[in-house]
Structure 1
Amino acid sequence: MSQSEHTADGHHIARQQEFAAHIRSPKEHPVPADVDPQRMKIYSDLFFNNVKGFLDGTFPVCAEIIGAARWHEIARDFFASHHCQTPYFLEIPQEFLQYLEQQFQPLETDPEYFYELAHYEWLELALDVSEEEIDQVFDANADLKQSIPVFAPAAQAFVYQYPVHQISTDNPAPEPHQTALIVFRDRQDQVRFIETNMMTIQLLIKLQQQELSGLAAVEQLLQESGISITEVALQGGLAILEEWQRQGLVLGGRIA
């Protein structure tokens, strides 16, 4: 590469950086020289509104709770300061979660549960677009006591410090209390949640990670929890699996 070509290439890169810097933060970076400001504004608004549209669609409750002006301010700061590691628009909401966790500077007026609420709203999208499918042959009428339960695809469990599934403009200031949720996509591809407790979440995780019959999983959980393995305790654990099947979390069972 000749010296003139190298210089021209460097100038081109510098121009691209000026262009991108202004699009990210128009107030902090001037319009590049020889670029029409009105045309530049169209580009800047187009890029920002594209990204903000994905945030609006994924985090509607967050946006309503925090108010339009503050939501716009947060979206603008995310757009300006966070360097996304993915070119896929559908992954922008996950990048926004990383921004909230690593860069976001909350105001005193921002709710303490803001990140948890955003995570819950993101989880709904993640399960909705998940390509995970059931690759196991199962019997919908199998006895869950003797068979290995098969779960709906992409079922996940999380423990929040606030009842995030109950937060709305009608309930913007809930009292903090530990809330265990199982979120899954049912047979009709609808994302649903089940409010539960730590012990049933442990049962779910155990069955997802090990090939155990319903009975074996309940017995192990009782033993590990220091609870006597009585008929009443076993029936209580198996009743949870039956309830999960009615709710669509458990699709059926494989014969162990």
Structure 2
Amino acid sequence: MTLAKTVISELRERIQHLEGANGKSRIVLPFGAKLIDNRLPGGGLAHGAIHEFAGGGAGTVDGAAAALFVAGIAARTKGKVVWCLARPDLFAPALAQVGLHPDRVIYVEAIREEYVLESAEEALRFGGIAAVVAEVVRLPMTASRRLQLAAEGSGTMGLIIRRWRRQSEANDFGHPTAATTRWRISVLPAEPLQVPGVGRARWLAELIRVKAGESADFIVGACDAEGRICLFSDAHDGPDQARRSLNTR
């Protein structure tokens, strides 16, 4: 067992070296929750890379929780954020509630989804931007590689939200992409507070894939006014209980 762990550790170091931008150490954005950050190479989400997000459970199609999760990440970066989309249904006040204020966001509204990918790639290549968000239905491997290379070249973080128009399209999320991490965010029953009928929203954050790391599930509190999430004490109950909660909604 010890030998196996040593071999795995050496392989991870080699992979990280090969995937790094010419061997340079990457800047990361920690979540501030050790249980999550310890699962991510470098202790956080890497800048100069793309990360993929989708909704789960009842929010698979609309992806509202995933969008707020991404907005919270973008809120904790420094500088302007470019948000590319084809459907004009983004609710800016909701983004402001998780710390991403309108004066930081440059919205790029495209008439076709292909133009969303093109705009996101151009913004990633431009540099000097804190993060680039793109809402897309499909993310082909070739397109994701182009985005990844653009992010590596500029050091900008790319955040890709998969939003589908119908449930059947969600099967596309199983196809491989060049994203450094892949997440699924599902809504759970709210945390009960002392005030009746009021509670902090909770999410099941599934880290489905991470390069040079292992997948994991976390029960987290929704982003606060500064874009920060928190881990709940019942996270040790594991994803099975969380999924049971989703199935009984």
User: Shorter-chain-normalised TM-score: which range?
Assistant: under 0.3
TM-score, scaled relative to structure 1: 0.26
Which structure has the greater CA radius of gyration? 1
Does 1 or 2 have the higher relative contact order (CA < 8 Å, sep 6+)?
2
Higher helix fraction (1 or 2)? 1
TM score, norm. by length of structure 2: 0.27
